[in-house]
Structure 1
């Protein structure tokens, strides 16, 4: 890219075009909120002196900017209730003080904005439209001087609160989260998700944003969402080209929902597996039963210490009521499709709570991927990638060919 091309790109739009529905949603909400504020201003303020500008009209300008933030970008830290209410109110107070103490208008204009910015930063209430509130108070000095400090309460505080109350109701009615998402500890997800997600506390997320000086642009909760999305995308591209269908086991050993746990234990020992999928009588996948599930179900603290667990499982049929698969299986598990990328499977199985990932097609199980299948595929890919470049690959249909080619390029 040429120098002029880089300059033009830097001067171009920095955000994407929002969907038409979102644009209409934000614009209608802002219009409703500002209309309510205009009526409140007229009800609470006495008519302006005809000799000077009407301060109520100048107030609508910064409130319009507040409405833009609260309705169009409700996730921004700048749009949150604390920032808007405290920012507008303290700026109005500073504007009135400057009108009362500083005789020169040109000096009062500069001092009002400067002091308002300092106060907002100290109070952690950065709200850009509030600088306009302080400026408007100085521009309408005669009317504001007559109203005194009551101007801070009405119309500034009242109108800001009203506007934000409308924003809270309207945003929630139209599917947006406002006020701000409260940050929570960012940890791994094990169900229907992927991404190598180490535990990150909310305080650490806030510290990262402050260190990078981004805390006024994005909140900790939204940063956590970005981390989740980035991890998921990275997992999908970890081993591009290798899908679940290429490494899954198609010969399935399954259990039905009413199978006693003693028979399930026998299947574990016979087929040397650690996880069995439970398939309903209609052929639909219902859950997974692992050795750990059986141990949790049948472990009895008062049992003889010299009995091994497998023997106890095989003798479970002697109990008066023997548990069945439907009672011990785990139904909330991560699943995959034939097209799920290998990187997602690596991530999901690495988290430790699942020993296997069912591969489903329209709710029916078509295969299963165990940790052993995953390790074998990765080991095969690594061993082939380490071969000399002129060594022919005899297995032309090896499902890890695409992965091997990618790793050879990177090494």
Structure 2
């Protein structure tokens, strides 16, 4: 009996205070903008005789601003789900005189239609009932009710959600990616998928689950990856980037001549170097591959001569030829902190294709660098040592 009663207790909310405030502020802004826009349209004489906002729109706001990654909160769901449900509700109200029969039938048919058109949106069920039980104004509006306020409100609220969520760094709408990109653009699977959970594994589990899951497939994939990382940390203990990184880092500046940068790579027998500003903050990475990617080296004939010409220190200004590191280095760079667990480097170096990752300190200044060989050594070390610090049986 006690276990049964515990089922009524809500599970703890995982969202932080910031995320909760973001959802509240988004709903406030979205509903306010929707109300103002509809009021302005009615004031201009476009739509008259219908309510400005309808109650089910509050439920749509919960989905669009509190859980924008949900499959039930995507643009097609809100637009098609709400409008379709309104059309079904109006039809039931006009053809079935008894509201006690029309309302349940409208709700059931709306759910079935949303399933069929892949636009399941929970507030749609409330809109179907509103079309039947909404009172004289809704009844007189007839099918016009599906256009305004339902269609218009849904459109404006969706546009507000796109603007607000992306402005607060929550991607919306959520994009579906069938597979993780392979860094070498080949037909092979990414290294993480070869030994871990594959997309078809998730698809099979979702089919076996046989119920609507209010979590996007990509979000579920991300959760599985993070769970694997946590399991690794529990098994092998805490090995951070500070434990395995190289501290005596060879670095260059934006204005370092190409010839000097190339000589540093050869002298120290390394493949890449961080590019830093005067405050030792990382602004890029320069590697031997960046030299090879120069348009002047696209053809193999006379490659050596053109390469020497590329890195030769120039005495005159040539705007059409790169001369310093900053002109050929990639504009994007990924860094990690000293306290980052080495397990978090695996997706970066296996899936994202990074060969070297700079490590920064608490003030975001360069403190080390980790190469793929460093990561391999760290994983080997973790495989030999159990969480208690004793040598494992596998050794």
1:12-411 to structure 2, matched below 5 A, reads 12-14=9-11, 16=13, 19=17, 21-22=21-22, 24-25=24-25, 28-29=28-29, 32=32, 33=34, 44-45=48-49, 60-102=54-96, 106-139=100-133, 147=140, 150-153=141-144, 155-171=145-161, 172-173=163-164, 175=167, 180-184=173-177, 187=180, 198=193, 212-213=209-210, 217-220=214-217, 222-223=219-220, 226=223, 239-255=236-252, 257=254, 259-279=256-276, 283-297=280-294, 299=297, 301=299, 303-304=301-302, 317=312, 323-330=323-330, 332-351=332-351, 353-361=353-361, 362-380=363-381, 382=383, 385=384, 405=389, 408=392
Equivalent-residue separation in structure 2 for 1:162 and 1:21 (angstroms) = 27
Equivalent-residue separation in structure 2 for 1:256 and 1:29 (angstroms) = 45
Q: Confirm or deny: 8 A CA contact 2:229 2:343 kept in the other structure.
A: no
Residue number in structure 1 paired with 2:187: none
**Residues paired across the two proteins, number:** 370
* Worse overlay, 322-331 or 242-251: 322-331
- 1:61-91 deviations in Å (ceiling 9; x for gaps): 4445445444544444334454344444444
Gaps of 5+ in 1: 47-55, 386-400
Gaps of 5+ in 2: 184-189, 317-321
Equivalent-residue separation in structure 1 for 2:226 and 2:381 (angstroms) = 30
SS in 1 for 2:143: helix
TM-score (norm 2): 0.68
Q: Confirm or deny: 8 A CA contact 2:279 2:365 kept in the other structure.
A: no
SS in 2 for 1:354: coil
* Worse overlay, 342-351 or 33-42: 33-42
The verdict on how the C-alpha distance between 1:333 and 1:238 changes in structure 2, with shifts beyond 3 A counting, is farther
* Worse overlay, 172-181 or 34-43: 34-43
Shift of 1:158: 0.3
Shift of 1:159: 0.8
Larger Rg: 1
The verdict on how the C-alpha distance between 1:167 and 1:135 changes in structure 2, with shifts beyond 3 A counting, is closer
- 1:273-330 deviations in Å (ceiling 9; x for gaps): 333344556555444332323333473636447x699xx6599548777944444444
* Worse overlay, 117-126 or 350-359: 350-359
Q: CA RMSD in A?
A: 5.0
